[in-house]
Amino acid sequence: MSVAQALHALPPTASERAYREAVDAFAGLELPPRLNLELIVRVVEAIRGRRIRIRTTDKLAGTSICGLWLPGKRHEWVFHPPTPWELQRQQFVLHELSHMILGHDAHPGAGSLLHEGLQHLSPEVIRRALMRTEFRTVEEATAEYLADLLAEALREGPGEPGAFEEVFG
């Protein structure tokens, strides 16, 4: 199921609510012009009060998992599978950053897993709790909407792989 199909499968009120929440969160960021991914990461680090570490891992290669965010006390970790396409990698990262911006680790249920200590959880529990492979929930839809808004803002800045119109007119 594509992202668009999954989003259309949500009840209209849920989809509309997700979109409004994403737009509000984006506006609240007050991002400067001429963005790049590094600057967005720094903005999210300031919001979260922790450094963000982004890593590619072969362990996600060949799976349907496109991102894993592990909040920690000192660092936020974002893992994604290898991809030859920078725009795809960027979208993986922006989606996970969007979860951070939206504070999805503070939602009911998320904290109980994190407080137990991730090192004591089995890989299957972590996979079910924190990996997102479908967009059927309002949280996932909101994060993807926000990631799309961030990607659009990046395309407006020079030096990012989406500034085609600016270069070629």
Q: What is the pLDDT of residues 51-82, one digit of tens each?
A: 999 999 988 888 777 888 988 888 999 999 99
Phi/psi for 125 (5° steps) reads -65, -45
Locate the DSSP E strands across the chain: 51-56, 68-71, 75-80
Band (137; pLDDT cuts 50, 70, 90): confident
Measured between alpha carbons, how far is 26 from 35 in angstroms, rounded to an integer?
Answer: 13
- Give the residue from 89, 86, 81 showing the smallest Cα distance to 59: 81
Q: Which residues pair with 69 in a beta bridge?
A: 78
* Confidence (pLDDT) at 158: 57
Q: Is the pLDDT reported for residue 123 higher than 70?
A: no
Q: What is the rounded average pLDDT for all residues in the chain?
A: 79
Q: Is the pLDDT reported for residue 23 higher than 70?
A: yes
**Rounded mean pLDDT, 125-145:** 67
Residue with the larger pLDDT of the pair 160 and 157: 157
Q: Is the pLDDT reported for residue 110 higher than 60?
A: no
| Contact in structure between 96 and 67 (CB atoms under 8 Å) | yes
Phi/psi for 51 (5° steps) reads -70, 150
Give the list of residues 6+ apart from residue 143 with CB closer than 8 angstroms, or none. 22, 95, 98, 99, 102, 104, 132
Residue with the larger pLDDT of the pair 91 and 14: 91
Between helix 138-155 and helix 86-102 the angle, nearest 10°, is 120
Q: Is the pLDDT reported for residue 27 higher than 90?
A: yes
What is the SS3 assignment for 16? helix
Measured between alpha carbons, how far is 71 from 114 in angstroms, rounded to an integer?
Answer: 8
Phi/psi for 71 (5° steps) reads -70, 140
